[in-house]
Structure 1
Amino acid sequence: MRNVAYKQRIAKYYDSRVKPIAFKIGDWVMRKVSLATKNPTEGTLGPTWEGPYEITKFCRPGTYQLRDQSLPHHWNADHLKYYCK
């Protein structure tokens, strides 16, 4: 019982500090490079972000579609950040 109360307090503290990222249609974002999309010839000195991409569609909370022909699927907001011009 005591362990459950501790976990609830930790969860409440974490949730109070997390700030969800919300983008709007038309915003420009950078996309995080994953191991699947990284060019293996660049090694560890390769870029960690690529883009910019324009958000064209809001699919569900935290999920967006980007304007690019090579990226047909949706992206989670955790893998995106605002592009500063």
Structure 2
Amino acid sequence: MHGGERAIVMSGKFEKVLPMDLLPEFLIKAILVDDIDKMEQLGIYEVVEEDIALCEFVDTSKMELQSILRKGIDLMIKELG
């Protein structure tokens, strides 16, 4: 990604391309601030990186959503283990 960090833009595009009933923008925000309780409430156990690949493609912020999700999943594994 070129440039510095960017804010996540709440555009509603993620819900249109995500194959499941989740709130991906809020899940990504919870992962970025390491909010474990919120991640569980928003369904982090139900997704893997490939599920949000289209979200990353349509993201106007051009954030690396798959790697952010992996960070969140790794955090959950660490907390449970």
TM-score bracket, normalised by the shorter chain, equals under 0.3
Larger proportion of helix:
2
State TM-score, norm by structure 1: 0.25
Q: Whose Rg is larger? A: 1
Larger proportion of strand:
1
